[in-house]
Structure 1
Amino acid sequence: MVALLSRFDRAPVQLLLADGCAVAVAQAGGVHHIYRHDGLLVALWGHPRIEGCTEQEDDQGVAQRLALLWRARGPQACQALSGSFALAILDSTAGEALLAVDRAGSLPLHHVRQGPALYFASSPEALLAQSEVHAVIEPQALYSYLFFHMVPAPASIYRGWQRLLPGQYLHCRDGNVCIGSYWALRFQEHQSDSFASRQQSFLRLLRQAVERSLGNDPAPCGVFLSGGTDSTTIAAMVRQASGQPARSYSIGFDAPGYDEMAYARLAARHVGSVHHEYYVTPGDVLAAIPAMAAAFDQPFGNASAVAAYYCARMASEDGVTRMLGGDGGDELFGGNTRYAHQALLSLYERVPALLRQGCIEPLLFQQRFCRGFAGPWRLFAKARRYIELATTPLPRRLESHNLLLHHGPRTVLDPAFLASIDPDGALASLSGAWWQRPERQPGQLSQINALLALDMRFTLADNDLPKVRQACELAGVEAAFPMLDDELMAFAACLSPRDKLHGRQLRPFFKRALLGVLPPAIVRKQKHGFGLPFGLWLTQHAPLRAFAFDSLSALRRRGIVRADFIEMLQGPLLREHPAYHGTMVWILMMLEQWLQAHPAPMAGTVRTVDVSGTIDGNISGAGSATAATESQVRLGATA
């Protein structure tokens, strides 16, 4: 297991043995947070901080101080930690083990019970290196992937396996396992400080967060630069924090409506960065698909991971060892366009019920208006669609454009597979996260903060962070996220709702506070990102299309997706709307590629297919800790 820790970055491995236990950490930069004393082993992967001790103090400083707190506070010792980390404390004398991840969930940790034993790892592939651990693909997790384009935590693609949520710990003692939270985001929605005071605090915290992300590693750091507000802000703060121009890296696409290189160049000129750019081609996508499918721990369908990979690879070839991303800014300060859209839909709730139910809805939904709309009647169609969405409760209406719901599970899924899963399970997991959101005291949480809290878990921890982290690991560099600095997250949670969404204006405080930092054109621009023109390229690039359709042909033999739906998808559906249905082709293609690279039996009635494939994924950590009387333990991690 240890031999796999440095597959991509060749980071040095530190190994300790004591009392039948073993701990290993592989970390770039030469700092290993491990500690051993009287049967107690402490290991942290990442860049943790703890009050009264700096990361650079010595290799044992953070881990040693945490060991003292563990003996005094037990699992709540995690509250003293900040920064990015995955943690394992193994106490053989007390028969206890503690696992935890940081507050943003920037680093993963998987765990599984097999009989009396508890096994854990920061990568499933490391767990699979243990012969005692069995992996059976969970059909319900496959359905979640098709629904969300990823598998949301705490679930895993494998039956019986789970992952820790942000700010969560697992405590094992005398064979009993308890999972709890040592931290949760708390919103304070009434802001009394002046704008000038808040701006000063924000800029100071932002600069400190970038300084921490840069660290003291002599190797150069790079910045993902899309030309959006977050990446441009990070690039500007790198110069302020280091006194040196940032090394910025951007990806472009030679496709109408997808290329934002002009904004990236504008941002680079404004902040004075040393700029690098690369245009991704359909051939690049074709070359990257198998490696990326193999590198991800679970099926993952965010196509922008390809752009992140080529951006990170360009930086790696330039000698960069760590890439700073602006991920988290949207979820902290209100930057996603759906926040304004949901606020607009919620206005309908303010219309008196008598007027809504007695006049507006009977008029728009009477039978003669349901037969189709043309010409001036299209206004009625738009009004009807608005009311249909506005009367759909949150969080379900967030999935109004969901591909699986649009076509219907019975149209898309094989009947035998459909019989083995709960079609309502995906929405149930979304609703569960929505209603378990943190509340402010006293009173109910505002809609914007409720949406931000949900996105911190679903959009960020389960989608954006794994996308960037795994793409960087595949390229041999480390990812860092300054926006997710703990103090900056706490600051954002104390901003008023109007600071995050004012009418339909997104992130008003953030943009106003950075007027002297960001160029006006970038402050005004619409959000875009690294969207991949995959659907368009499917219609233009024959080799990419052939590869995708071959993958779908292999998938149809697995008994997951209906063969007739795949035929429709490859034909009229893709021709009708290449961008929309191209996404479904990508989702299914990446599922097949992942299944080929990670062969495992499937539970239930789903058929298995004998297809060739290789595993080429990065192993970021592994370990096993037995509960009850046995104390054989291993842990490993790498950046």
Structure 2
Amino acid sequence: MCGIAGFFDPAGFNADEAAATANRMANAIRHRGPDDSGVWVDAEAGIALAHRRLSVLDLSPSGHQPMHSRSGRYAITYNGEIYNHHDLKKELERASSSAMQWAGHSDTEVLLACVERWGIEDTLKRLTGMFAFALWDRASRTLTLARDRMGEKPLYYGLQNGIVLFGSELKALKPHPAFQGVIDSGAVAMQLRYSSIPAPHSIYRRVWKLMPGTRLSLHGVGTGATELPEPIPYWSLRAVIAEAAGNSFIVDEVEAALQLEGLLTDAVGRQMESDVPLGAFLSGGIDSSTIVALMQAQARGPVKTFTVGFQEQAFNEAHHAKDVARHLGTDHTELLVTAQDALAIIPELPELYDEPFSDSSQIPTALIARLTRHHVTVALSGDGADELFGGYNRYLAASSILSKTARIPLSIRRRVADKVNALPDTALDFLGRPLGMAETALKMRKFANVLAARDADEYYQRLITTIRNPYHLLKARGDTPANQNPCLAISDFLHDPELRMMACDALTYLPNDILVKLDRASMGASLETRAPFLDHRVVEFALHLPLYMKIRRGRGKLLLRKVLGRYVPDELIERPKTGFAVPIGNWLSGPLKEWAEHLLRAGRLRNEGFFDAEAVRALWQEHVSGRRSHPHQLWAIVMFQAWLEREQNT
């Protein structure tokens, strides 16, 4: 796992100046690769590649990057892991007319050999792994940027003053003198709506995220160019979803569970390869417990596992992880953090996430990454299982809620929702007190929100949206529309609302939120994370499963439960899903109040020009007064404000 950066200016440049600039770009993401660095430039061709290395496979100088192919035709700066590189190496050796000589045993060297043998397109289709890379072809003077199928590894690119800049994070682009950094107000609206900025957009104009499963080939981009070609998909999750919709596996559940176990066992085994210490995140839930169980079944000794819990018992699930670890026999480490521990990391979040990002579970994710890095360099995670096998609560409740609310006319449902939302939190909490409900007001407002949904698709959109109409709070609309819905066409071929929601989450929420959160938190601690559920063979298998093998009678992940049941007894994992929650609302009106007030001052908001100061202040006053809680909406706003403050000070 590493960090990459570079630029392409066909007009050419001074070699020494370009090397110095590329080095500064790489050093801006030193946390992604603290073990080694390298720069390569071709001044005449106008290409500069830079690299920061986190040594995981082949710790010798043979793994140094940027790396050149044996013929010298190709140069690459590469971030990621190719899990089937041993298989590819054997295939190359069988296809070669003479014995192949290898300088080392890195997957980067194998990747370059594959490109020389089969070309970039065929090579990408053969890869199993997570990656982002920039490949320079000296013969055709073509730069190719490529990203893995599911979007595990990030890759930003931009056209700034006619020069193409690229890097693993936005901060890698900023040291180049051509970088402009003009904020797109439309992207701000998207962040307020979804808590992240969906690909291909970024917070800056004319800077994009390369979409998962695509490559972008650039040849002869001239000085003063204003447009870049569209990326080309070599694999499409949307296409797999469409194909699977009419071709679900009709097999016995026992047989399907055996097939899934085989695929996951192979994926986990491949991802356990490492020349440095390796472990796993363990929350005690189904996803991480399955990964750890399959790791322990293949390991020679106890697997190192890690969990983080909060001293506030309402948010602490660390004891569940401890029970699973004890049953599986892992070497378990637990970190119980206080509110002060969590609050201490908040000022670092804008630097860590690099563009506005406001999923509050970013806090515990960053904490567990730091804990884990004290012990290992690589950690496996259970990310991706919820979207593929039906784990989120919104899937489990969909049919029940939709079938019941459909019997009530929409006009009546919306009047009821309006009346609920008109009540103060104190009144809603009073109503829920006899039922022993915690956070009654938030739960009742959430129910009112979905009660007013017209249909299943609106139900889903209301649940995933942080601020439904961000333009009520913003002064400018910007270039990027905030209400884009990349899932609209899915309803044409997926009729079950649960399957539509899962597909939409896999296309959007997973790469734009979950994997961003995981990558920045882990790489910020110089920790490599791997997600076996996102092996594309597992993904394709899961998408072909019928709904009844995932969700039935309000229970999710049914097939995954069957796999885990061979290793862990049901009583250790059968409990409601809670997620990685933090009490962000209480913190904003308590220990974070002064910090948030500083960021939300009316004069400041007016001077910056992004927000309607009066609308934001009204929202803030409602929250701190206790009349109505707005934890997630305010977190989205203050995280943008904290990012903007960092932006203005750097």
User: 230-239 or 567-576, which moves further after superposition?
Assistant: 567-576
Find the partner of 2:269 among 195, 201, 211. Answer: 211
Q: What corresponds to 1:277 in structure 2?
A: 334
Q: How far is the alpha carbon of 1:17 from its aligned partner? A: 5.0
Q: How far is the alpha carbon of 1:401 from its aligned partner? A: 7.2
Contact 1:267 1:519 in 2 (8 A): no
The residue identity in structure 2 corresponding to 1:326 is G
The residue identity in structure 2 corresponding to 1:276 is T
Change (3 A) 1:178 1:568: closer
Structure-2 separation of matches of 1:103 and 1:331? 15
Find the partner of 2:381 among 325, 329, 337. Answer: 325
Q: What corresponds to 2:639 in structure 1?
A: 590
Q: What corresponds to 1:434 in structure 2?
A: 487
Say whether 1:238 aligns with 2:290: no
Q: Which has the higher contact order (CA 8 A, sep 6+)?
A: 1
Change (3 A) 1:577 1:252: farther
Say whether 1:130 aligns with 2:179: no
User: 516-525 or 222-231, which moves further after superposition?
Assistant: 516-525
Say whether 1:90 aligns with 2:151: no
Q: How far is the alpha carbon of 1:136 from its aligned partner? A: 0.4
Structure-2 separation of matches of 1:577 and 1:316? 42
Q: How far is the alpha carbon of 1:52 from its aligned partner? A: 2.2
TM-score normalized by structure 1?
A: 0.80
Change (3 A) 1:420 1:17: closer
Contact 1:35 1:41 in 2 (8 A): yes
Q: What corresponds to 1:391 in structure 2?
A: 454
Say whether 1:11 aligns with 2:11: no
- How far does the alpha carbon of each residue in 1:480-531 deviate from its partner, in whole angstroms, 9 at most, with x for none? 1121112211221221121122242212111123212233134421111221
Q: How far is the alpha carbon of 1:163 from its aligned partner? A: 0.9
Q: Secondary structure at the match of 1:60?
A: helix
Superposed, 1:481-492 pairs within 5 Å as 481-492=531-542
Q: How far is the alpha carbon of 1:183 from its aligned partner? A: 0.5
Contact 2:74 2:136 in 1 (8 A): yes
Change (3 A) 1:338 1:591: same
Structure-2 separation of matches of 1:85 and 1:500? 29
Change (3 A) 1:182 1:467: same
Q: How far is the alpha carbon of 1:569 from its aligned partner? A: 3.6
Say whether 1:290 aligns with 2:343: no
Superposed, 1:594-605 pairs within 5 Å as 594-599=643-648
Structure-1 separation of matches of 2:590 and 2:255? 53
- How far does the alpha carbon of each residue in 1:106-148 deviate from its partner, in whole angstroms, 9 at most, with x for none? 0111111235433222221111121122210100001111111
Structure-2 separation of matches of 1:236 and 1:101? 30
Find the partner of 1:199 among 226, 250, 257. Answer: 257
Contact 1:75 1:171 in 2 (8 A): no
Structure-1 separation of matches of 2:472 and 2:508? 26
Q: How far is the alpha carbon of 1:549 from its aligned partner? A: 2.0
Q: Secondary structure at the match of 1:394?
A: helix
Find the partner of 2:204 among 147, 158, 165. Answer: 158
Change (3 A) 1:564 1:385: closer
Structure-2 separation of matches of 1:75 and 1:394? 36
Q: What corresponds to 1:610 in structure 2?
A: none
The residue identity in structure 2 corresponding to 1:479 is T
Structure-2 separation of matches of 1:399 and 1:271? 40
The residue identity in structure 2 corresponding to 1:26 is R
Say whether 1:311 aligns with 2:361: no
Find the partner of 1:260 among 300, 317, 323. Answer: 317
Structure-2 separation of matches of 1:166 and 1:243? 35
The residue identity in structure 1 corresponding to 2:193 is F
Structure-1 separation of matches of 2:278 and 2:367? 16
Q: What corresponds to 1:546 in structure 2?
A: 594
Question: Identity across aligned pairs (percent)?
Answer: 25
Structure-1 separation of matches of 2:497 and 2:646? 41
Q: Secondary structure at the match of 2:643?
A: helix
Q: What corresponds to 1:605 in structure 2?
A: none
Contact 1:9 1:477 in 2 (8 A): no
Contact 1:150 1:299 in 2 (8 A): yes
Say whether 1:228 aligns with 2:285: yes
Structure-1 separation of matches of 2:252 and 2:401? 31
Q: What runs of 5+ residues in structure 1 fail to find an aligned partner? A: 600-612, 615-639
Contact 1:208 1:241 in 2 (8 A): no
Q: Secondary structure at the match of 2:171?
A: helix
Contact 2:414 2:452 in 1 (8 A): no
Contact 1:226 1:530 in 2 (8 A): no
Q: What corresponds to 2:74 in structure 1?
A: 40
Contact 2:146 2:214 in 1 (8 A): yes
Find the partner of 1:521 among 552, 563, 571. Answer: 571
Q: What corresponds to 1:110 in structure 2?
A: 156
Q: What corresponds to 1:460 in structure 2?
A: 510
Contact 1:170 1:180 in 2 (8 A): yes
Structure-2 separation of matches of 1:566 and 1:388? 26
Contact 2:152 2:511 in 1 (8 A): yes
The residue identity in structure 2 corresponding to 1:584 is Q
The residue identity in structure 2 corresponding to 1:44 is Y
Q: How far is the alpha carbon of 1:247 from its aligned partner? A: 1.4
Q: Secondary structure at the match of 2:609?
A: coil
Structure-2 separation of matches of 1:285 and 1:368? 38
- How far does the alpha carbon of each residue in 1:319-366 deviate from its partner, in whole angstroms, 9 at most, with x for none? x111221110101111111112333344369x7xxxx6xxx5299479
Q: What corresponds to 1:628 in structure 2?
A: none
Structure-2 separation of matches of 1:363 and 1:112? 47
Change (3 A) 1:370 1:192: closer
Structure-2 separation of matches of 1:366 and 1:159? 38
Q: How far is the alpha carbon of 1:308 from its aligned partner? A: 1.4
The residue identity in structure 2 corresponding to 1:239 is Q
Q: How far is the alpha carbon of 1:575 from its aligned partner? A: 4.3
Change (3 A) 1:537 1:497: same
- How far does the alpha carbon of each residue in 1:598-626 deviate from its partner, in whole angstroms, 9 at most, with x for none? 23xxxxxxxxxxxxx45xxxxxxxxxxxx
Q: How far is the alpha carbon of 1:464 from its aligned partner? A: 1.0
Structure-1 separation of matches of 2:366 and 2:450? 41
Change (3 A) 1:363 1:182: closer
Say whether 1:26 aligns with 2:52: yes
Q: What corresponds to 2:118 in structure 1?
A: 69
Q: How far is the alpha carbon of 1:103 from its aligned partner? A: 0.8
RMSD: 3.3
Say whether 1:179 aligns with 2:231: yes
Structure-1 separation of matches of 2:135 and 2:479? 36
TM-score normalized by structure 2?
A: 0.79
Structure-1 separation of matches of 2:367 and 2:593? 21
Find the partner of 1:340 among 385, 389, 396. Answer: 396
Q: How far is the alpha carbon of 1:385 from its aligned partner? A: 5.5
Q: How far is the alpha carbon of 1:61 from its aligned partner? A: 1.8
Contact 2:31 2:524 in 1 (8 A): no
Q: How far is the alpha carbon of 1:583 from its aligned partner? A: 2.5
The total of aligned residue pairs comes to: 568
Q: Secondary structure at the match of 1:53?
A: helix
Q: What runs of 5+ residues in structure 2 fail to find an aligned partner? A: 1-21, 91-103, 222-227, 433-443
Q: Secondary structure at the match of 1:97?
A: strand
Structure-1 separation of matches of 2:410 and 2:516? 47
- How far does the alpha carbon of each residue in 1:271-301 deviate from its partner, in whole angstroms, 9 at most, with x for none? 2222211222232233212222112131111
Q: How far is the alpha carbon of 1:227 from its aligned partner? A: 1.6
Say whether 1:144 aligns with 2:168: no
Q: What corresponds to 2:306 in structure 1?
A: 249
Change (3 A) 1:180 1:233: same
Q: What corresponds to 2:8 in structure 1?
A: none
Q: Secondary structure at the match of 1:505?
A: coil
Change (3 A) 1:211 1:400: closer
Q: Secondary structure at the match of 2:230?
A: strand
Find the partner of 1:412 among 473, 479, 502. Answer: 473
